[in-house]
Structure 1
Amino acid sequence: MFKKILIANRGEIACRVIKTARKMGIATVAVYSDADKDALHVRMADEAVHIGPPPASESYIVIDKILDAVRRTGAEAVHPGYGFLSENSRFAKALEDEGVVFIGPPASAIEAMGDKITSKKLAAEAGVSTVPGYMGLIADADEAVRISEQIGYPVMIKASAGGGGKGMRIAWNAEEVREGFQSSKNEAMSSFGDDRIFIEKFVTQPRHIEIQVMGDRHGNVIHLNERECSIQRRNQKVIEEAPSPFLDPETRAAMGAQAVALAKAVNYCSAGTVEFIVDGARNFYFLEMNTRLQVEHPVTELITGLDLVELMIRVAAGEKLPLTQEDVRIDGWAIESRLYAEDPYRNFLPSIGRLTRYRPPAERRGPDGAVRNDTGVYEGGEISMHYDPMIAKLCSWGPDRAAAIEVMRNALDEFEVEGIGHNLPFCQAVMDHPRFVSGDITTAFIAEEFPDGFHGVTLPDEELRRIAAGAAAMKTVAARREGRISGVLSPHDRRAPRDWVVSIGAREWRAHVSPLARGHIVTEEGEELAIAPKGRDPRNPDVLIHGQGAVKVRFEDGTESTVEGDWTPGDRLARATIDGAPLVAKVDMRAEGFRIRRRGADLDVKVREPRVAELARLMPEKLPPDTSKLLLCPMPGLVVSIAVEEGQEVQEGQPLCTVEAMKMENVLRAERAGVVARINVAPGASLAVDEVIMEFE
Structure 2
Amino acid sequence: MFKKILIANRGEIACRVIKTARKMGIATVAVYSDADAQALHVQMADEAVHIGPAPANQSYIVIDNIMDAIRQTGAEAVHPGYGFLSENKLFAEALEKEGVAFIGPPAGAIESMGDKITSKKIAQEAGVSTVPGYMGLIEDAEEAVKISNDIGYPVMIKASAGGGGKGMRIAWNDDETREGFQSSKNEAANSFGDDRIFIEKFVTQPRHIEIQVLADSHGNTIYLNERECSIQRRNQKVIEEAPSPFLDEATRKAMGEQSCALAAAVGYTSAGTVEFIVDGERNFYFLEMNTRLQVEHPVTELITGVDLVEQMIRVANGEELSLKQSDIGINGWAMESRLYAEDPYRNFLPSIGRLSRYRPPAEVADGPRVVRNDTGVYEGGEISMYYDPMIAKLCTWGATRDEAIDGMRDALDAFEVEGIGHNLPFCSAVMDHPRFVSGEITTAFIAEEYPDGFEGVTLDDAMLRKVAAAAAAMHRVAEIRRTRLSGRMDNHERHVGENWVVSAQGTDYPVTIAADRDGSTVSFDDGSSIRVSSDWTPGDMLARISTSEGPLTMKVGKITQGFRLRLRGADLKVTVRTPRQAELAALMPEKLPPDTSKMLLCPMPGLIVKVDVAVGDEVQEGQALCTVEAMKMENILRAEKKAVVSRINAGPGDSLAVDEVIMEFE
Question: Do the two structures share a fold, i.e. TM-score over 0.5?
Answer: yes
Q: 2:583 aligns with which of 601, 606, 614?
A: 614
State the 1:580 CA deviation: 5.1
**2:115 matched to 1:115?**
yes
State the 1:491 CA deviation: 6.4
| 1:633/1:690 contact within 8 Å kept | yes
SS in 2 for 1:72: helix
Question: Match of 1:332?
Answer: 332
Question: Match of 1:391?
Answer: 391
SS in 2 for 1:443: coil
Question: Match of 1:649?
Answer: 618
User: Relative to structure 1, is the Cα distance of residues 493 and 327 closer, same or farther in structure 2, using a 3 angstrom cutoff?
Assistant: closer
| 1:9/1:84 contact within 8 Å kept | yes
- CA distance in 2 between counterparts of 1:197 and 1:493 reads 71
Deviations 1:396-443 (A, max 9, x none): 111111111111111111111111111111111111111111111111
Q: Which amino acid aligns with 2:277?
A: I
Q: Tell me the matched-pair count.
A: 666
- CA distance in 1 between counterparts of 2:219 and 2:207 reads 31
Question: Match of 2:4?
Answer: 4
- CA distance in 1 between counterparts of 2:651 and 2:497 reads 57
- CA distance in 2 between counterparts of 1:498 and 1:478 reads 14
| 1:484/1:491 contact within 8 Å kept | no
Q: Which amino acid aligns with 2:420?
A: I
Q: Which amino acid aligns with 1:192?
A: F
Q: Which amino acid aligns with 2:582?
A: A
Greater CA deviation, 352-361 or 503-512? 503-512
SS in 1 for 2:629: strand
Q: Which amino acid aligns with 2:593?
A: P
Q: Which amino acid aligns with 1:209?
A: I
- CA distance in 2 between counterparts of 1:496 and 1:349 reads 45
Q: How does 1:446-485 map to 2 (within 5 A)?
A: 446-485=446-485
Deviations 1:594-622 (A, max 9, x none): 11111011111111122111111111111
- CA distance in 2 between counterparts of 1:292 and 1:398 reads 27
TM-score of the two chains, using structure 1 as the length reference = 0.94
SS in 2 for 1:619: coil
Greater CA deviation, 608-617 or 311-320? 608-617
Q: Which amino acid aligns with 2:196?
A: R
- CA distance in 1 between counterparts of 2:467 and 2:493 reads 27
- CA distance in 1 between counterparts of 2:233 and 2:277 reads 16
Deviations 1:509-566 (A, max 9, x none): 112223211xxxxxxxxxxxxxxxxxxxxxxxxxxxx3xxx11222233322211001
Q: Which amino acid aligns with 2:80?
A: P
The structure number with the bigger radius of gyration is 1
- CA distance in 1 between counterparts of 2:220 and 2:588 reads 74
Question: Match of 1:682?
Answer: 651
State the 1:375 CA deviation: 0.5
Q: Which amino acid aligns with 1:647?
A: G
State the 1:336 CA deviation: 0.6
Q: 1:693 aligns with which of 650, 662, 666?
A: 662
SS in 2 for 1:167: strand
Unaligned runs of 5+ in 2: none
SS in 2 for 1:377: coil
Question: Match of 1:599?
Answer: 568
Greater CA deviation, 360-369 or 614-623? 360-369
- CA distance in 2 between counterparts of 1:491 and 1:395 reads 48
| 2:227/2:240 contact within 8 Å kept | yes
SS in 2 for 1:447: helix
- CA distance in 2 between counterparts of 1:345 and 1:623 reads 19
| 1:655/1:667 contact within 8 Å kept | yes
State the 1:489 CA deviation: 4.2
SS in 2 for 1:148: helix
SS in 1 for 2:365: strand
Greater CA deviation, 75-84 or 396-405? 396-405
Question: Match of 2:191?
Answer: 191
Q: How does 1:222-621 map to 2 (within 5 A)?
A: 222-490=222-490, 492-517=492-517, 546=518, 550-579=519-548, 581-621=550-590
SS in 2 for 1:263: helix
Unaligned runs of 5+ in 1: 518-545
Q: How does 1:165-244 map to 2 (within 5 A)?
A: 165-244=165-244
SS in 2 for 1:407: helix
| 1:82/1:295 contact within 8 Å kept | yes
| Identity across the alignment (%) | 75
- CA distance in 2 between counterparts of 1:159 and 1:491 reads 72
- CA distance in 1 between counterparts of 2:268 and 2:462 reads 55
Q: How does 1:28-43 map to 2 (within 5 A)?
A: 28-43=28-43
- CA distance in 2 between counterparts of 1:479 and 1:311 reads 57
Q: Which amino acid aligns with 2:393?
A: K
| 1:479/1:497 contact within 8 Å kept | no
| 2:273/2:292 contact within 8 Å kept | yes
State the 1:229 CA deviation: 0.6
SS in 2 for 1:252: helix
| 2:9/2:84 contact within 8 Å kept | yes
Q: Which amino acid aligns with 1:135?
A: M
SS in 2 for 1:366: coil
Greater CA deviation, 473-482 or 304-313? 473-482
Q: Which amino acid aligns with 2:138?
A: I
Greater CA deviation, 584-593 or 481-490? 481-490
Question: Match of 1:527?
Answer: none
- CA distance in 2 between counterparts of 1:326 and 1:171 reads 43
Q: Which amino acid aligns with 1:223?
A: Y
